[in-house]
């Protein structure tokens, strides 16, 4: 529920509340953060008094005494406030160890529990659980969490600093909706991150626009697994007998599924419901149920408005299936949403579109090998900024492969292919995907094998892979 940003669409900020607390200031309906005892958690501002009524301006570090220049654990020097919400405050801090080592990126984000949660006896355990789950979710589309610790009265977690905008600000800045290209890019990032989290049996449980970040690079990060709980069949489920983050966490009524209101065990369907709402809101600038909580929307028999103009009928099936109020009508698998919505589309971020246009303007064409086959243009002949983007996307594809996230890897490789067609490194990584896939899925039936081969060949970067083409040719020969 925290906003991590160094600069917003509206310009630099010193302190921004999340969408539960700032809505009245921007003339939007407020979302309340509902906790287990049905109370409303209000953020405790810097300099506020503690529950005992005494000022927290003393020399010892407390959640409300931090300000620019404060030092945490003799290592992290606070420089500014990034965001404040019901569960805590996020600060920008200089990591003195990184500075000493002359790291090129010495700044990090520090999340500190504040308000009522800072006084809770199990707050340290809560942050430890959040850090543990987040550290398990090492994925390009999920914020990187470094560590958690305590310093006197402070319980804190350190994570990467994000440079961009939370989706609630993106939506506010685009009241008629974002472009189809940006929408596809954002949904690709969210679904890739959720697929990975769900594969680890971890449900976000509070997915909403302010918990998703669009970086200036065009990448998407899902953050704040603060109330995420292990799904019932996970090996982590044992944590519930010791501590359940749901005791201290909350839900956001306008993005919570009916199952969450009923207190059911968390399932991927909870995140899928929020995903559908977010997709519709990005496409139109409006919440499909006018921010009405699911139980009330069901009681009033609310129906989603008509299909947004910027999405196709196939994409509407995905969105409509995700935002279904009733559990039995809703999609149950993020991968199915991803397949329906993204389909054969070639995905671009806004920056990638600009770079593609730059390439076209520069009249860069494909080279031909001696046998007439197309080959990649020399990497050195690409514009410097295109080289940087290609290198970054290749690195992200490689990282995704390390985690076994083939969907994310293919997404990044397609972006490389759009900017540097027939890139030798992209083709090599595509070959690794095929090799892994053959090992993992070698026992599939003929029909399943054909479907998966065809799915892989939907990606242009895969269409020159000799192993895939051979398998397809063999299958075709067997059907004759």
Handedness of CA 456, 458, 462, 468 (dihedral sign): positive
Burial of 452 (0-12, 13-18, 19+ CB in 10 A): middle
* Lookup: tokens for 150: 């305590």
* Cα–Cα dist 132/137, whole Å: 9
Question: What are the Cα distances from residue 184, in Å, to 179, 234, 289, 350, 458?
Answer: 9, 31, 22, 10, 16
Burial of 383 (0-12, 13-18, 19+ CB in 10 A): middle
Which one of 206, 224, 271, 405 is the catalytic residue? 206
How far from each other are the two terminal CA atoms of the chain, in whole angstroms?
A: 57
Judge whether 213 and 167 are in contact, CB under 8 Å.
yes
| Cα maximum dimension of the chain | 84
Q: Is 474 labeled as catalytic in the residue annotation?
A: no
* Cα–Cα dist 271/139, whole Å: 17
* Lookup: tokens for 407: 């969907």
What residues are annotated to the active site? 206
């Amino acid at each position: 529920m925290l906003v991590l940003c160094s600069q917003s669409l509206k310009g630099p900020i010193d302190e921004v509340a999340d969408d539960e607390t700032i809505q009245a200031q921007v003339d939007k309906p407020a979302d309340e953060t509902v906790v287990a005892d049905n109370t409303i958690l209000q953020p405790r501002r810097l300099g506020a008094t503690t529950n005992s009524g005494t000022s927290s301006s003393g020399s010892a570090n407390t959640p409300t005494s931090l300000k620019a220049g404060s030092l945490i654990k003799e290592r992290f020097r606070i420089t500014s406030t990034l965001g404040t919400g019901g569960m805590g405050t996020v600060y920008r801090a200089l990591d003195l160890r990184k500075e000493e080592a002359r790291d090129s990126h010495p700044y990090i984000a520090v999340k500190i529990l504040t308000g009522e949660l800072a006084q809770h006896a199990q707050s340290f355990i809560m942050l430890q659980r959040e850090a543990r789950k987040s550290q398990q979710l090492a994925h390009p589309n999920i914020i990187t969490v470094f560590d958690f610790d305590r310093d006197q009265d402070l319980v804190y977690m350190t994570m990467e600093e994000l440079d961009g905008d939370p989706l609630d600000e993106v939506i506010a800045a685009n009241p008629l909706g974002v472009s189809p290209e940006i929408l596809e890019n954002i949904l690709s990032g969210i679904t890739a991150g959720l697929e990975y989290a769900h594969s680890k049996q971890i449900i976000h449980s509070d997915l909403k626009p302010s918990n998703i970040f669009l970086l200036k690079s065009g990448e998407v990060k899902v953050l704040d697994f603060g109330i995420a709980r292990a799904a019932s069949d996970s090996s982590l489920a044992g944590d519930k007998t010791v501590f359940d983050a749901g005791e201290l966490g909350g839900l956001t009524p306008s993005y919570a599924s009916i199952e969450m209101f009923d207190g059911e065990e968390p399932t991927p369907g909870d995140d899928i419901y929020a995903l559908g709402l977010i997709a519709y809101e990005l496409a139109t600038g409006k919440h499909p149920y006018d921010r009405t909580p699911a139980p009330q929307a069901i009681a009033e028999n609310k129906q989603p408005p008509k299909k947004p103009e910027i999405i196709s009928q196939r994409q509407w099936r995905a969105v409509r299936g995700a935002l279904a109020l009733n559990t039995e009508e809703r999609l149950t698998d993020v991968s199915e949403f991803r397949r329906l919505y993204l389909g054969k589309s070639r995905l671009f971020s806004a920056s990638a579109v600009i770079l593609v246009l730059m390439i076209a303007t520069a009249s860069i064409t494909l080279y031909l090998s001696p046998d007439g086959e197309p080959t990649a243009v020399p990497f050195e002949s690409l514009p410097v900024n295109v080289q940087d983007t290609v290198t970054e996307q290749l690195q992200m594809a490689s990282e995704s492969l390390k985690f076994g996230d083939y969907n994310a890897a293919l997404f990044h490789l397609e972006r490389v292919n759009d900017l540097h067609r027939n890139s030798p490194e992209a083709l090599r990584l595509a070959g690794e995907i095929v090799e892994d896939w053959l090992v993992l899925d070698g026992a599939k039936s003929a029909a399943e094998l054909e479907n998966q081969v065809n799915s892989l060949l939907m990606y242009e970067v895969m269409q020159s892979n000799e192993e895939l083409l051979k398998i397809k040719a063999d299958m075709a020969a067997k059907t004759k």
